[in-house]
Amino acid sequence: MTGRTVLVTGATGGIGEATALGLVASGAHVAITGRDRGRTEAAARGLRAAGSGAVDVFVADMSDQSQVRAMAAEILQRLPRIDVLVNNVGGFWNTRHVTADGLERTFALNHLAPFLLTNLLLDRLRQSPAARVVTVSSNAHTTGRIDFDDLQGEQSYSGARAYSQSKLANVLFTYELASRLHGTSVTANALHPGVVRTSFGAEDPAGVQRFLVPLARPFMKSPAQGAATSIHLASAPALAHVTGRYFANSKEKRSAGPSYDRAAAVRLWKVSADLVHLNGAADRPT
C-alpha cells in the first residue's frame, strides 16, 4: 500500500481503528475521521507510532450533513489523492434519536453519511488509477427491510429494525454505486466484519446488549480480526477489478435476496440524494 492514500471513517476505536492500523502498517498514507478531536488525535498518534506512513485527522459528527460537507471540503483541500475510502462509521441506538437535520440517527449515520461523503469525494476517487470504496455493512442486513413509507421510524421505531434497515441500505448502495461506476477506475464492495468486541451501541444499548453481550464477549472477534475483511478489500491485489460484491471473512459470499433488488436500489438512491440535497452526475443511473 506504499504510495496509496486511504481514508477510514469512524476510526477512533474498534474496527475502524484496527483497519487504519493494518493499513498504516502496510505503508499506506492513512487519514482517519472521528467526531471528537481529542480522541481522533490520540488515535492518530497511536497509528503514527505503529507505522511509517503519514496519518491525517479530520473531525466531524457524520450524522450532521453540514459537518460531512465541511469535512469533505477539507479532505479535498488537504488530500491530493484518495485511493481507498473505507466507509466504516456507524452506530446503534435502542431508542429513537433525531439529528440536527431532523432525521432518524441510525439511518442518517449508517447510510446517509457514507452515501453523501462518497458522492462528495467521487471525483477525487476517479482520479486514482485504481480506487476502491469499501463499505462496512453487517450480517444484520439479512433481516433488513427498506420501509420507504417510514424510513425515519416516525410511525414505529425499533432499534434493531432501524439498524438492520441501515445495513441493508449499505449493501444496496454499494451495488448501485458499482453499477453507476461501471467502466471507471473505481470499484465498490461491501462486507460483514463479524461479531466483534467493541463499545458498539454502548451509548444507548438494548436489553439484549446489556445482558447477553458480556456473556458472549469471550467468543467474539477481536477488533483486529473484525478489521481483516476491510483491510483485505482495501488492499488485496486480486480484488483490483472486483466490484459490486459482498464479503465475509475475506471471502466473497451472496448477500440477502432483497439486496439484489435494483428497483429498490435506484429508489433508495433517489430518496437518499433528496435527503442529503445532492444532485449531480453520480445521481444518474447507468
Q: Mind telling me the catalytic residues?
A: 163
Beta carbons of 24 and 53 less than 8 angstroms apart: yes
Cell output for 176: 448501485
Instruction: Determine the distance from the C-alpha atom of residue 286 to the mean position of all C-alpha atoms in its chain, rounded to a whole number.
Output: 23
Cell output for 253: 459470499
Residues 6 or more apart from 94 whose CB is under 8 A from it? 159, 201, 204, 205, 206, 209
- The secondary structure of residue 187, as a DSSP letter, is E
Residues 6 or more apart from 237 whose CB is under 8 A from it? none
The C-alpha atoms of residue 53 and residue 94 are separated, in whole angstroms, by 38
Looking up cell 500500500 gives: 1
Nearest to 61 by CA among 81, 86, 87, 33: 33
3-state secondary structure of 6: strand
Edge-to-edge strand order for the sheet containing 245-248?
55-59, 29-34, 5-8, 84-87, 131-136, 186-192, 245-248, 251-253
Buried b (16+ CB within 10 A) or exposed e, 76-86: eeebeebbbbb
